[in-house]
Structure 1
Amino acid sequence: MPRAYWINTFTAVHDEAKLAAYVELAGPAMREGGGRFLARGAPAAVLEGPDTPRITVIEFPDADTAVAAYHSPAYQRALEALGDGATREIRVVDALE
């Protein structure tokens, strides 16, 4: 199976404190789940489409591992901390071989 990339796009941040609590829990949860952070933060440039406040790209050994990390108890605690603090879109895409 090819590597896979988790792309988390925050389309809106509603509560910075909830986002901070999420970040504290989500980072370790993703690393425990086999992920490696490649990029995170505000976009360096927006060439097309609406501006977004934050994007995260995480590499996983494969898509199944990325999906399992999402459903892990540790990441679910991060999601509870975030609650309604942000609106996001998450995609997992396979790497090119």
Structure 2
Amino acid sequence: MGRRNNDWLSLGLESWQLGLEAGEVMWLRGCMIAMGGAAGEREAQRMVTEKLAANASFGMMVASGKAGTSPEAATRSALAHYGRRVRANRRRLAKKVP
């Protein structure tokens, strides 16, 4: 298998892992929101604000060329960009949800 195929294979695996992590964050956030109260409301607002900010900042990366010039580089940039946020949310929410 050539280097190019390995790149796409590793990107596929990283995408799969990010999907699993994002699913966990969705579940944890759902628990927080379902508990209601001020904490649930703050989490719902935070979720929307974070999504808008993450998408806007990645859009600027793409527009400025900082996301890479090849499809592989752009994909790797997207996975890194969103992965950092997903993992930070997972760590934060895991501490809060019983």
Q: After TM superposition, is the score higher than 0.5?
A: no
- TM-score relative to the length of structure 1: 0.35
Bigger strand share = 1
Larger RCO of the pair (alpha carbons < 8 Å, separation 6+):
1
Q: Which has the larger radius of gyration?
A: 2
**Structure holding more helix per residue:** 2
